[in-house]
Structure 1
Amino acid sequence: MRYPAVETAEKHERILNEAARLFRERGFSGVSVSEIMKATGLTHGPFYNHFDSKEALMADSVMHGMQTTLDGLEETEGSAKGWTDYLKRYLSVAHRDACGAGCTMAALAAEVRQEPLVRGPFTARLKAVVEAMASHFPWSSKRAARGDSIRALSSMVGAMVLARAVDDDAFSEEILKEARKGLV
């Protein structure tokens, strides 16, 4: 039985949303296809109607999750105040504590390097995020915008990774605070 295209697209989107959330929370190897399908309210059977493999889902979910980052950039005011607000949101305790809803780069970059089918899509989206940051926010100069964006994004993602990794809340908050201070 064939389903209407709209219904199929909605199911596909649900699978991507749940996969992106679960992968960010537990990593690629920490989640099975069955768990993802169960989280969507679907059985395991239709998975292969949407994706060729778990690796294909991993690649698509990284693209999907990083698109959320791009959308968030576009929704932020492209001013010095917008940049400061963006930093406050990104380098916050709330973001630190919400791995499943947070930044795909901070949650999965270390794992992406071990997944050949995911590296290409990750690279493409990362380049898009760098370009979006470079063109969206005011930097010291147009010529320096790309480099400034790479340095800022690397600091932000690195700070989030470290803040999530330590078992000392005060130190974690200090990492976030110092990263914010260094980027404004």
Structure 2
Amino acid sequence: MRYSKDHKLETHARIVKKASVRLRERGAHGIGVADLMKDAGLTHGGFYAHFDSREALLIEAFAYAMDRSTDRWRKLAEQTSPDKRLATIVDSYLTPTHRDDLGHGCTIPALSAEIARESPKTRKAFAVKLEQMVDILAEQIPDVPRKAARKQAMASLATMMGTLVLARVAGGGEFSDDILGAGREAVLDRVAAAKAGAKKVAGKKASVPARH
């Protein structure tokens, strides 16, 4: 039976979506191609009709998941006043719900350690998506020069990721919840300090009399 181009594209997208969930749940090496295809309702033999290699599927799957995260952050930002956007994103990220749902959560804490051991091609593709996430966070830090905002976004994302990893390791009890709370405070306190510093510098520049 011959299928239409649209059918093949839909099937390809379904495989990628299913793989993105399973990879986050079990890790990049915790599930094989046969199982990934089975999850998508297909046979192992059909894999190479859609992907050149397992690496190709891995790259598409984590890219899909990371794009979903950035899309979610954009929507949250659009629905929130500028001064509360970063806090809203951080609050939505460091939650018990996110901690307990690996399959639909952020790719970074779920797969980054394994991606670091993958091929240069895979690491480069991951880095591109990671940088996009940093840029989205940086856009939510107003009243701070772009370079400083980007630096704060990198530190914030690293703290958010590390917090989620530790909270998952700690389980789902009070200690784990405390870790999530500490991470939220650390991110927002650091950004608040950066904003205060930027305003202080701007104030000093404004108070310096012009030379004639």
Output the TM-score relative to the length of structure 2.
0.82
Q: Is the 8 A contact 1:22 1:36 kept in 2?
A: yes
Separation in structure 2 between the aligned mates of residue 4 and residue 80 of structure 1, nearest angstrom: 48
Q: How does 1:122-133 map to 2 (within 5 A)?
A: 122-133=126-137
Higher relative contact order (CA 8 A, sep 6+): 1
Which residue does 1:95 correspond to in 2? 98
Separation in structure 2 between the aligned mates of residue 110 and residue 25 of structure 1, nearest angstrom: 14
Separation in structure 2 between the aligned mates of residue 37 and residue 121 of structure 1, nearest angstrom: 23
Q: How does 1:61-72 map to 2 (within 5 A)?
A: 61-72=61-72
Q: Is the 8 A contact 1:112 1:119 kept in 2?
A: yes
Q: Which amino acid aligns with 1:36?
A: L
Q: CA deviation at 1:138?
A: 2.5
Separation in structure 2 between the aligned mates of residue 43 and residue 30 of structure 1, nearest angstrom: 19
Q: How many residues align?
A: 184
Is 1:41 the counterpart of 2:41 in the alignment?
yes
Is 1:146 the counterpart of 2:150 in the alignment?
yes
The 4+ residue runs of structure 1 with deviation greater than 4 A are none
Q: CA deviation at 1:76?
A: 1.6
Separation in structure 2 between the aligned mates of residue 90 and residue 47 of structure 1, nearest angstrom: 34
Q: CA deviation at 1:28?
A: 1.2
Output the TM-score relative to the length of structure 1.
0.93
Give RMSD over aligned pairs: 1.5
Is 1:171 the counterpart of 2:175 in the alignment?
yes
Where 1:165 maps in the other structure, the secondary structure is helix
Which residue does 1:24 correspond to in 2? 24
Structure possessing the higher radius of gyration over alpha carbons? 2
Separation in structure 2 between the aligned mates of residue 180 and residue 2 of structure 1, nearest angstrom: 53
Which residue does 2:84 correspond to in 1? 81
